């Protein structure tokens, strides 16, 4: 049957993830009946283990926004937020989220999301998060706000004083507020146990992402990568479900390596791996599938990306530490990609180009995201200078479909791929 043929190819790990997410949203929509408290918080520098240890449920507004983008609902939400007075230049995640609330706060699965019992602002790298929560505070009057300030890695390292500063905030503000909202005392043993699971999952995730060093790469570390990081970056880090998910995913990836297979795409196996790319910047969500297709149709595989590090750069060695739970939460927040300074980002990306044998480096610059876009041109030039590989630059947006111009993006990507191809041919002729 035609419809079956067109169905997206799914592996077992994808089905597990889908079920995990469905259960979470059901649990959220039933939270009033079950009495579970709800915490609104953000992905980069999230305190998921801490939230879960109080038996509370996390909601991530930026995940809802990107899901709305993928489900073609963001245009309407953004329009409603702009009607309320949000400027054209405001982050589209924020406008999409506000618009969603104005429209009854229906989540990605079609179930209504509960209002927050606690607004936990543990932002890293992006100051818009702070303004976002100021808006949420007004939309949900009376809901307590806990703020965890994460110092930026201005000098490119995390100092003991910074850790002390963060642990102090956790002890004096965040944890007492969580205790008050949940009505429970902090259970340090439970938190520590969760971190064992966190570290196991993190080991597996690193193994999965690093599998892209193989030729051909068994995974696409950007377009598929955003699915792989889902459970880790959101509500499941520290759970046994996450360990199961990553074990399953890792088995699948190892199996693909042993069979010499390339990444799986929504249209099945990718053909020949022609180009290996490192990508900087978030993807576009409103035309995600179309965007990805331009790459896999050309045989381009993304072998490493910075976006899959926004919720933790685990390949640099950080793991949640059961022996020092609060310290490791602090280290975790400060180590996320957008909290790294520009020289650190350049180092990381230049290493990716070498370690993953990339043929090209591409930036997808996001019109409404200052925290990612600042410094990107400098990053691009530095990478070109240090690695000598061709670099490319395209522009789109997170969830505002008005800023995704398919023809323009395709035109530039075609030129970019042709650049890579020409270079390879001329260089091989020169070497002979």
Partner 1 sequence: MKNFFLGVDLGSTTSKAVIINEEDQIIGRGITNTRSNYSVAADIARDEAVFNGRFSILKKKLSGEIAARSEYKKYIDDLESVFQYEQFKVRLDKLGDELLKTCRSYFKEQQKQEEIIGHLRNIRRSFKPVIKHDYLYNNLGSRNQFFRDIVSEKYNEEVGKLSMSLFEPLMTVWDKSISPAENQLITFDFAELVQKAMDELDEKYKNIPDTYADNESVNFDAELNLLKGNYNQVSETLRKHIEEITRLDFKITNMTGTGYGRALLPFPEDCIRSEILCHAFGAHAIFPDTRTVLDIGGQDTKAIQVDKYGLVTSFQMNDRCAAGCGRYLGYIADEMSISLNELGPMALQSEKEVTICSTCTVFAGAELRELTNMGEKREDILGGLHKAIIMRAMSLIARSGGVFNEFTFTGGVARNPAVIKYLTHFIEESYGTDIKINIHTDSIFMGALGGAMFARRNIRAELPSKSGKKEFSNESSAAN
Task: List the x/- string, 214-253, binding to partner 1 by CB under 8 A.
Answer: ----------------------------------------
Query: With the C-alpha atoms ordered 78, 79, 85, 90, is the resulting torsion angle positive or negative?
Result: positive
State the nearest-atom distance from the C-beta of 419 to partner 1, in Å.
Answer: 5
Q: Candidates 298, 349, 350, 366: give the one binding partner 1 (CB under 8 A).
A: 298
Nearest-angstrom CA–CA distance, 352 and 346: 10
- Note if the bond before 216 is cis, omega within 30 degrees: yes
Decide: helix, strand or coil at residue 87: coil
**Residue 281 in the binding site for partner 1 (CB under 8 A):** no
**Residue 299 in the binding site for partner 1 (CB under 8 A):** yes
Q: Is 385 exposed, middle or buried (0-12, 13-18, 19+ CB in 10 A)?
A: exposed
Give helix then strand counts, H and E, for the chain: 20, 10
Decide: helix, strand or coil at residue 162: helix
**Cα 273 → chain centroid:** 25
Residues numbered 166-225 forming contacts with partner 1, rule: CB under 8 A: none
Nearest-angstrom CA–CA distance, 282 and 364: 7
Residues in CB range of 432: below 8 A, 6 or more apart: none
Nearer to partner 1, 226 or 409 (CB): 409
Task: List the x/- string, 251-280, binding to partner 1 by CB under 8 A.
Answer: ---------------------x-x------
**Residue 89 in the binding site for partner 1 (CB under 8 A):** no
Which stretch of DSSP H or E encloses residue 393? strand 391-396
Residues numbered 381-420 forming contacts with partner 1, rule: CB under 8 A: 381, 384, 390-393, 395, 403, 405, 408, 411-412, 414-415, 417-419
Nearest-angstrom CA–CA distance, 418 and 108: 38
Decide: helix, strand or coil at residue 120: strand
Instruction: Give the count of residues interacting with partner 1 (CB under 8 A).
Output: 34
Nearer to partner 1, 19 or 269 (CB): 269
Task: List the x/- string, 333-372, binding to partner 1 by CB under 8 A.
Answer: ----------------------------------------
Nearer to partner 1, 92 or 339 (CB): 92
Which residues bind to partner 1, rule: CB under 8 A? 272, 274, 298-299, 377, 380-381, 384, 390-393, 395, 403, 405, 408, 411-412, 414-415, 417-419, 421-426, 428-432
């Amino acid at each position: 049957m035609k419809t079956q043929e067109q169905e997206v190819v799914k592996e077992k790990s994808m089905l597990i993830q889908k079920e995990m997410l469905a259960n979470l949203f059901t649990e959220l929509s039933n939270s009033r009946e079950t009495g579970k408290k709800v915490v609104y918080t953000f992905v980069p520098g999230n305190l998921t283990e801490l939230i879960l240890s109080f038996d509370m449920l996390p909601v991530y507004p930026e995940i809802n926004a990107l899901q709305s983008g993928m489900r073609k609902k963001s245009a309407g939400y953004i329009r409603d937020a702009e009607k309320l007075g949000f400027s054209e230049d405001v982050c589209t995640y924020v406008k999409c989220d506000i618009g969603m609330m104005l429209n009854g706060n229906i989540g990605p699965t079609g179930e209504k999301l509960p209002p927050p019992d606690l607004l936990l602002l543990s932002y890293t790298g992006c100051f818009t998060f702070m303004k976002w929560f100021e808006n949420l505070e007004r939309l949900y009057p009376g809901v307590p706000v806990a703020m965890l300030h994460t110092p930026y890695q201005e000098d490119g390292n995390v100092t003991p004083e910074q850790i002390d500063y963060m642990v102090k905030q956790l002890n004096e503000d965040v944890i007492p507020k969580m205790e008050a909202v949940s009505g429970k005392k902090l259970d340090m043993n439970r938190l520590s146990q969760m971190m064992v699971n966190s570290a196991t999952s993190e080991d597996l995730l690193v193994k999965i992402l690093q599998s892209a060093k193989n030729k051909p790469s068994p995974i696409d570390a950007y377009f598929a990568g955003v699915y792989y990081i889902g459970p880790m970056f959101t509500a499941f880090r520290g759970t046994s479900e996450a360990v199961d998910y990553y074990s399953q995913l890792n088995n699948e990836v190892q199996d693909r390596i042993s069979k010499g297979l390339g990444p799986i795409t929504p249209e099945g196996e990718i053909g020949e791996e022609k180009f290996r790319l490192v990508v900087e910047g978030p993807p576009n969500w409103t035309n995600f599938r179309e965007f990805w297709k331009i790459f896999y149709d050309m045989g381009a595989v993304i072998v490493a990306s910075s976006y899959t590090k926004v919720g933790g750069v685990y390949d640099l060695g950080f793991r949640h530490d059961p022996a020092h739970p609060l310290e490791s939460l602090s280290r975790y927040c400060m180590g996320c990609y957008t909290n790294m300074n520009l020289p650190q980002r350049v180092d990381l990306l230049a290493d990716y180009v070498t370690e993953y044998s990339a043929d090209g480096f591409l930036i997808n610059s996001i019109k409404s995201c200052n925290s990612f876009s600042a410094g990107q041109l400098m990053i691009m030039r530095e990478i070109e200078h240090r690695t000598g590989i061709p670099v490319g630059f395209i522009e789109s947006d997170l969830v505002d479909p008005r800023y995704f111009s398919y023809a323009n993006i395709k035109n530039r990507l075609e030129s970019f791929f042709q650049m890579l191809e020409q270079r390879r041919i001329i260089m091989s002729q020169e070497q002979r």
